[in-house]
Amino acid sequence: MSEPKCFGKYVLLSQMDAKIVAKTPLRVGKGKEMEVAESDLPIIKNSEEIPMIPGSTLKGFFRANAERILMNIVPKQAELMTRRIFGSKEKKESASAIFFYDLKAKASNYKLENRKHIKINPETCGVDNLFEAECVMDGGVFEGQLATTRNLSPTYIGIIQPVIELASLGISRLGGFKSRGYGSVDITINKLTLIIPGKSKEMIKKGEEIHPTIGTTKPTYIEAKDGNEVTLREIDKVTFKARVEDAPSYLGTKIIIDSETEANKLLSSLANQLQKYLTGVTQ
């Protein structure tokens, strides 16, 4: 893949931490189990036997729903945009600008259950077989690092927000057995960190223009002049509360939004800017 073209150097990185709460039973399965004592269809767990949602499942969920959303605005470009953000297997195209991570259940916030189900024979309309499926019951909480992005413009990061909104409506469901009522979740971004390599805290205070390589192609202006108030402008200007810190490990600066309210306010603004940008592109 042609990584050097888009990722020859890093100009903007971001990290999102999230909480996912199951509103209905949630099942991310690992296939059939052969052990007698186990469920017929167990869920995926880590080495500590704690339920988890793999990063691959989360990426598939966000990718598929992002493309459906983009199809409404830029139908002819939606597939290409999706590949630009989430990557492609094609050798001549760039690797993913966003990486997803495994989320594990909080120890005191989940309950496992083996639920009985039947399979109907479509020819006889009778019961074909009875089986058990393991699941995390409603109320289960998964929390941790959701994703990181590299050189993805802030406006394009906004694609995360409409997918979250579809999940809250119960339209976009996570995991398996969706037709049986499983997989309705609430997703909340509870921390959002922007990392600007090569730009010191003092430079960001005065205001700096950076040029992410994947997104609108418009420059991004970032300024943190008044203490914990940060201004970001790509399509429109948005101001939000954040901590601005030197980040020696990245030879740059971190802008940390650790307020759930402020993080979702910023994502909502970026989603609005993305819609505005895409609408303008198609006109």
User: Domain total for the chain?
Assistant: 1
Q: Which residues, listed in sequence order, are joined to residue 257 by a DSSP beta bridge?
A: 192
CA 266 to chain centre: 15
Q: Which domain holds residue 251?
A: 3-282
Pull the structure tokens for residue 85: 């953000």
For residue 283, the one-letter residue type is Q
Pull the structure tokens for residue 194: 């922007």
Runs of H (alpha helix) within 182-247? 201-206
Q: What is the pLDDT of residues 262-279, one digit of tens each?
A: 999 999 999 999 999 998
- As a whole number of angstroms, the distance between CA 206 and CA 185 comes to 41
Cβ neighbours of 48 (radius 10 Å): 8
At 118 the pLDDT is 67
pTM of the prediction? Answer: 0.89
Q: What is the pLDDT of residues 59-103, one digit of tens each?
A: 999 999 999 999 999 999 999 999 999 998 776 667 899 999 999
- As a whole number of angstroms, the distance between CA 114 and CA 179 comes to 18
Contact (Cβ atoms closer than 8 angstroms) between residue 249 and residue 239: no
Is pLDDT of 217 > 90?
no
The CA dihedral of 76, 82, 85, 86, to the nearest 10 degrees, is: -160
At 197 the pLDDT is 96
Pick the residue with more confidence: 37 or 95? 95
At 180 the pLDDT is 86
- As a whole number of angstroms, the distance between CA 25 and CA 98 comes to 28
At 68 the pLDDT is 95
Report which DSSP code applies to 81.
H
Query: For residue 263, what are the contacts with CB-CB under 8 A and spacing of at least 6?
Result: 189, 190, 191, 192, 257
Task: Please name the helix (run of DSSP H) or strand (run of DSSP E) that holds residue 191, with its range, or none.
Answer: strand 185-197
CA 193 to chain centre: 14
Phi (first) and psi of residue 4, to 5 degrees: -55, -35
At 117 the pLDDT is 76
At 135 the pLDDT is 92
